[in-house]
Amino acid sequence: MAKEFHYTWTWDLTSSPEALWPFVSDTNRFNRDTGLPPMELLGVSNKARLVRFKIPVFRVEWEEEPFEWTYPYRFGILRRYRKGPLAEMRVDCRLERLSPSGTRIVYETSVKAANILGEISIPIVIGIVSAKRFENVFKLYDRIAARGGSIFTLAKGSNLSIAGHSRFKVMSERLKDQRVDAVVLDRLYDFMQRADDLSIQRMRPYALADGWSLPRRVVLEGFLRATRIGMLNMYWDLLCPECRGVAEDYARLGDVNAKVHCKTCQIDFTANFDHNVEVIFRPNPSVREVDTSVEFCVGSPQRQPHITFSLIVPPREELPFSTMLNEGRYKLRASQTPGSQILLAKSNGPENVDFRAGSKGWQTGVAELGLMPAIRLINESDQAQTFELERTAWSDQAATAADVTTLQVFRDLFSTEVLRPGEEISVGSTTLMFTDLRNSTKMYREIGDAPAFGRVREHFEILENAVAAEGGSIVKTMGDAIMAAFRHPASAVRAIWKVQKQLAERGDPPLSLKVGIHHGPCIVVNLNDHLDYFGSTVNITARLPNFSSGGEIIISEPIRNDQEVIQFLEKHAPLNSLARFQGDIRGYDQSMDLWRIKI
């Protein structure tokens, strides 16, 4: 009979459970920091991962069950070994809140030996060596969390070679000439110098910008320019809608396929530009070599931070526990119960709630609960069920393909980065703007071709500068007209407001634009080797300028109802300058609610 060893260690730390959780539950880093060798994923079967250590001396392989966890109080894992000195290992880590502050970490592990080597090595390697290393790492995490540091604070060392350092400095001077913020370059240099490979495998510009207390667009545009001159490389990561891990990644947009398969979840899904295509960066190998394959744990609660808890409840049993939630919508699922329960977490929601999963399915409607609820999961079926609570909102720290491709900087620097011909990828929400120069034919006749052309060219420059300043881009020009794209309605309104004002103040005769702005879903395609948009939203927006007589903006109901647009118009639009009317859009059976805004 295999000999079994049990260890329980406790450490009292000064930080709160929620402050420690991002560090403690990131087992990929924890395993690295405690000296474990890298791992290799060999395959997935029934959600159990087959994994082995990358060590040359002897082979250690195991089947790893999915982690169980409850934010920010507990996580656990079971491993069944196929090869090596161990037969089985169970780990349970609990973060218990102390009064008046602090956390007690209780770390329990049970290990079964597979042979005499295991019986000899377990008391030494785990009982003594691991215990000391775990204590040191947990206390390091506590010091970082106590001063409000992020996971990037763990990065240290000097990772740029002399050649890499020199190359970075030369490129930095070129980027400064392109008006890239020197502070961004200083932060980037420090990060590339000190960060370990785990930190630098997926450089997320929005997350780094937040950590550096810098504007997100400034950092993103700096990264795009750094990519163009060869300091960084850009990648397009396709994220699985269930596990939200990277299902596929591509170095070129032209290689992206809208139909994607996640090997971990064993599901097929369709990529969406503003939902699950994220743009990330890595150092160019000429500046710093990065091993993108190194991993120390193939599963971890921190790999799925959108999952608040993932817990197994045996058949006909119940499980009580507590957790912490943010305000917003969640989705509760159970592995053997079809569908899901939609939940709304709010400050005044009930603090004691029961959730039952069985043959009757989930209740209809939206259930409410508090932000620090005591939950009871009740499994009314005859099979074990895994309950998962998923926050429906995706991370706002992701620089999505929709964010990046609407930037004028991207279109200027990466004009060849387009989808393959025939590929179509949806965008859930985009703001589009069409403009047309009023009476341009008459102007050519009255002042002559050369002066008129100069005025038209000047109006294009004003448009492009205003659009780019608001984070949008000119998709294409059509004679005297343009089509522009923005991520947010207010950006389009602010941009055209500036344009109309500037045009009214320049030259004689004064120029005025007919403008239409609409917001909705569309399709991104490759048209004449350029990224373009198609769909009903495009067709409707293109027809809106027809309702304008010049010097005014025609906006649709989705634009008018946007909260930022409302605030902007309340501050800048003259009294009685807004008029609502019904517009008949050619090609559509029903008229639309539209708004005319005089500037």
First-to-final CA distance of the chain:
85
The secondary structure of 183-250 as a DSSP string is HHHHHHHHHHHH--HHHHSSB-HHHHHHHHT--HHHHHHHHHHHHHTTSEEEEEEEE-TTT-SEEEEE
565 Cβ contact partners less than 8 Å away, ≥ 6 residues apart: 489, 490, 493, 555, 559
DSSP for residue 512? -
195 Cβ contact partners less than 8 Å away, ≥ 6 residues apart: 152, 155, 159
- Nearest CA to 188 out of 397, 398, 143, 199 is that of 199
The pLDDT of residue 97: 97
Is residue 373 within a helix (H) or strand (E), and if so which, with residue range? none
Task: Detail the DSSP E strand segments found in 301-351.
Answer: 307-313, 318-322, 328-334, 337-345
Whether 337 contacts 381, CB under 8 Å: yes
Q: Crossing angle of helices 205-212/216-228, nearest 10°? A: 130
- Nearest CA to 151 out of 305, 48, 279 is that of 305
CATH architecture of the domain 4-153 equals: 2-Layer Sandwich (3.30)
Residues in the chain: 599
Residue with tokens 């030369």: 170
Fold of 406-598: Alpha-Beta Plaits (3.30.70)
Whether 335 contacts 309, CB under 8 Å: no
Residue 16: both structure tokens together: 């709160």
The secondary structure of 418-446 as a DSSP string is -PPTT--EEEEEEEEEEEEETTHHHHHHH
- Nearest CA to 264 out of 305, 302, 314, 304 is that of 304
pTM above 0.75, yes or no: yes
Residue with tokens 């179509």: 424
The pLDDT of residue 78: 95
542 Cβ contact partners less than 8 Å away, ≥ 6 residues apart: 434, 483, 516
Q: What pLDDT digit, counting tens, does each position of 84-140 carry?
A: 999 999 999 999 999 999 999 999 999 999 999 999 999 999 999 999 999 999 999
Whether 176 contacts 182, CB under 8 Å: yes
Residue type at 14 in one-letter notation? T
Whether 275 contacts 394, CB under 8 Å: yes
454 Cβ contact partners less than 8 Å away, ≥ 6 residues apart: none
Task: Report CA torsion sign: 276, 279, 284, 290.
Answer: negative
Q: What tens-digit pLDDT sequence spans the chain (599 residues)? A: 678 999 999 999 999 999 999 999 999 999 999 999 999 888 887 778 899 987 777 789 999 999 999 999 999 999 999 999 999 999 999 999 999 999 999 999 999 999 999 999 999 999 999 999 999 999 999 999 998 877 665 556 678 899 999 999 999 999 999 999 999 999 999 999 988 888 899 999 999 999 899 999 999 999 999 999 999 999 999 999 888 889 999 999 999 999 999 988 888 999 999 889 999 999 999 999 988 888 899 889 998 999 999 999 999 999 999 999 999 999 999 998 988 999 999 999 999 999 999 877 888 889 999 999 999 999 999 999 999 999 998 878 999 999 999 999 999 999 999 999 989 999 989 999 999 887 666 666 666 667 767 777 888 899 999 999 999 999 999 888 899 999 999 999 999 999 988 887 776 667 788 999 999 999 999 988 899 999 999 999 999 999 988 888 999 999 999 999 999 999 998 878 889 999 888 877 778 899 999 87
Q: What pLDDT digit, counting tens, does each position of 64-86 carry?
A: 999 999 999 999 999 999 999 99
